[in-house]
Amino acid sequence: MNVDEIYELAVWVDREVSGKGVPQAYAALQAILQTNADSGSAAQPFEAERQAVIDAVRSVSLASLSAEQREILANERIAQHLGENGVQEVEEILVRNQLDIATAAQRFGTIVADFNRAVTHFQALESSLNGFVKRRSVESEGVLMRVVFTAEASINDVVDLKEWSEKWWRIARGVALANGNAVEDVKVASASHGSIIIELLLFAGLANVFLTLMNKALEGTEKILNIRLKLDEIRKLDIKEPSIEELLANAIKKARAEKIEEIAKALVDAEVLPKKLTADNRNTLVSSISELVGFLEKGGEVDFVLPASAGEPDDEPGGQAPVLAELQKKLTDQRALQERILALEARVQHLGEEA
């Protein structure tokens, strides 16, 4: 991660967490719960404080953050307290501990402490870096697609650079042409080193195609991993029935073989692409999907960062708000898929180690 991304995250925390009063809302709820726990008299109602917390955390969207930035928030122990995850956590604490207010107060006290520590940390970072880091200038309504070259998809020399550059040119060209755009509409916003990351700037319509494509590819991966898990479980049970193992092995091969065509069909069925693609554009799209799936299977990663305006109301006719809201939903789905896939991969690896 670059220093400018850390600085942007500190600014984001100041605006979205402190600026929206999230720590204060949690603190107010914790205080009244603690009072009720300490008091021997009738408990004070806290519905207003509960709703204030829910409204505050629900107003915070992590869609404009990169995967690395979200990981930092998780390490600071505040990511899980924000957005819909935060809402679910609040409800879970209050429902589970409705007869044990002291425990609920203690849980919220820990959350308040997490926020206070994290906010202080990010305030110090912002203050230290202010004036030294130039904030990135990205078109306000553009969507960043972060392509991470890692694992077997790493770039180690100029040969790898040439190969992956050509592959991503074909990926971008196929998807752009299928959507009625030119490949030049996919712009390079920036590039960084370490695990090499290239940021491509997309307008919302083209980002919608890429996000839908990614989600369909991940759904295919999840399906294959589930079959693989069943196959490994059967092998572990040492069932002397070769037909079952053969059936599952063939199911994996079939799922992989059909994955590309299924994704292409799903893009048209989801109405993110024109219903009638020319034969040339469809063939180019299928080739792009194949290249992208190959990139992902080799360990490459693709992440999306929505503009800061995502989730904000827009009263202008024909404004971007509805499109960005749809992108935000798809991005949420994608991150949930990625978490399930990581869990499945861990289970498959665990079964392999036990075998």
As for how many domains the chain has, the answer is 2
CA-to-CA distance for 144 and 203, rounded, in angstroms? 9
Same domain, 147 and 255: yes
Percent of the residues in the chain that have a pLDDT greater than 70, as a whole number: 90
pLDDT at residue 242, as a whole number: 64
199 vs 352, higher pLDDT: 199
- Same domain for 80 and 35: yes
Kindly state the percentage of the chain with pLDDT values over 90: 35
- Single-letter amino acid, residue 242: P
In 82-157, alpha helices (H): 83-96, 101-129
Edge-first strand listing for the sheet containing 301-305: 187-192, 197-202, 143-148, 301-305
CB neighbour burial string for 294-308, b if at least 16 within 10 angstroms, e if fewer: ebbeeebbbbbbbbb
**Residue where a domain terminates, one of 105, 129, 153:** 129
Q: Is the pLDDT of residue 87 over 80?
A: yes
pLDDT value at residue 21: 96
Residue 200, exposed/middle/buried by CB under 10 A (0-12, 13-18, 19+)? buried
> What angle do helix axes 204-237 and 321-354 make, rounded to 10 degrees?
20
Alpha carbon 13 to its chain centroid, in Å, reads 18
The answer, yes or no, to whether residue 300 has pLDDT greater than 80, is yes
Residue 246: domain span: 143-354
Q: Quick check: is 136 in a domain?
A: no
Q: Which residues contact 120 (CB under 8 A, 6 or more apart)?
A: none
Q: What is the pLDDT of residues 109-148, one digit of tens each?
A: 999 999 999 999 999 998 888 877 766 555 556 888 989 8
Indicate if 328 and 212 belong to the same structural domain.
yes
Flag the least confident range among 137-141, 184-188, 312-316: 137-141
The overall average pLDDT reported for the chain is: 85
d(CA 293, CA 218): 9
Between 25 and 256, residue with greater pLDDT:
25
* 152 shares a domain with 122: no
Q: Each residue of 191-227: pLDDT tens digit?
A: 765 557 888 899 888 999 999 999 998 888 888 888 8
Q: Are residues 284 and 203 in the same domain?
A: yes
Residue 88 and residue 62 in one domain: yes
pLDDT of residue 299: 83
User: Domain check: are 166 and 312 in the same one?
Assistant: yes
Q: What is the pLDDT of residues 39-58, one digit of tens each?
A: 865 578 899 999 999 999 99
pLDDT of the residue at 138 = 52
52 phi, psi to nearest 5 deg: -65, -40
Q: The tokens of 97 are what?
A: 């501990």
More confident residue, 50 or 257: 50
The contacts of residue 82 (CB under 8 Å, 6+ apart) are 17, 22, 57, 60, 62, 73
Candidate from 90-99, 159-168, 231-240 with smallest mean pLDDT: 231-240
Statement to judge: residues 314 and 178 lie in one domain: yes
pLDDT in tens, 160-182: 989 999 999 999 999 999 999 99
What is the three-class DSSP state of 126? helix
* Coil, helix or strand at residue 239: coil
Same domain, 167 and 275: yes
Exposed, middle or buried: residue 7 (CB in 10 Å: 0-12, 13-18, 19+)? buried
Q: What is the DSSP string of 271-298?
A: TSS-SS--HHHHHHHHHHHHHHHHHHHT
> What pLDDT is recorded for position 134?
66
pLDDT for residue 271? 77
Q: Is the pTM of this model over 0.75?
A: no
Q: What is the pLDDT of residue 195?
A: 59
